[in-house]
C-alpha cells in the first residue's frame, strides 16, 4: 500500500501552530512536536491566569460596593466638636 501524503487540513493546522509559536524561542518555534507542546502549555497558563484575574476583579468589585455603601454612612455619623452632625 502506498503512502498518502497529508492533506491540506493537516498542513493548515501546522501553519496555524507555527504562526502562534513564531514568537517562542529556540526549538519551541521550529520543531512541530515541541510547537504543539508549547502551544498547549501557553494556552493552559493563559487560561489559569485569566481565571485568577477574573476572581481578583470580582473580589475588588465587591469590596468597592461595600466601601460605597459604608463610607457615606460613616461621614454622616461623624460628629464635630459641638455635637451636631457634619455632612462633608
- The residue extents of the domains of the chain are 8-77
Confidence of residue 81 (pLDDT cuts 50, 70, 90): very low
Tell me the pTM. 0.48
Mean pLDDT of 22-41: 83
Cα(82)–Cα(79) distance, integer angstroms: 8
Mean pLDDT of 67-78: 60
Which three cell numbers mark 39?
Answer: 502551544
Question: Roughly what angle, to the nearest 10 degrees, separates helices 8-20 and 32-77?
Answer: 50
Q: In this predicted structure, which of 4-8, 14-18, 52-56 has the lowest mean pLDDT?
A: 4-8
34 neighbors 27 (Cβ within 8 angstroms): yes
Please give the full DSSP string across 57-81, using - where no structure is assigned: HHHHHHHHHHHHHHHHHHHHH-B-T
Amino acid at each position: 500500500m502506498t503512502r498518502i501524503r497529508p492533506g491540506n487540513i493537516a498542513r493548515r493546522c501546522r501553519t496555524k501552530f507555527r504562526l502562534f509559536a513564531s514568537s517562542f524561542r529556540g526549538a519551541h518555534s521550529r520543531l512541530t512536536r515541541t510547537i504543539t507542546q508549547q502551544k498547549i502549555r501557553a494556552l493552559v497558563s493563559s487560561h489559569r491566569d485569566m481565571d485568577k484575574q477574573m476572581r481578583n476583579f470580582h473580589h475588588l468589585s465587591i469590596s468597592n460596593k461595600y466601601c460605597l455603601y459604608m463610607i457615606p454612612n460613616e461621614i454622616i455619623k461623624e460628629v464635630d466638636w459641638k455635637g451636631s452632625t457634619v455632612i462633608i
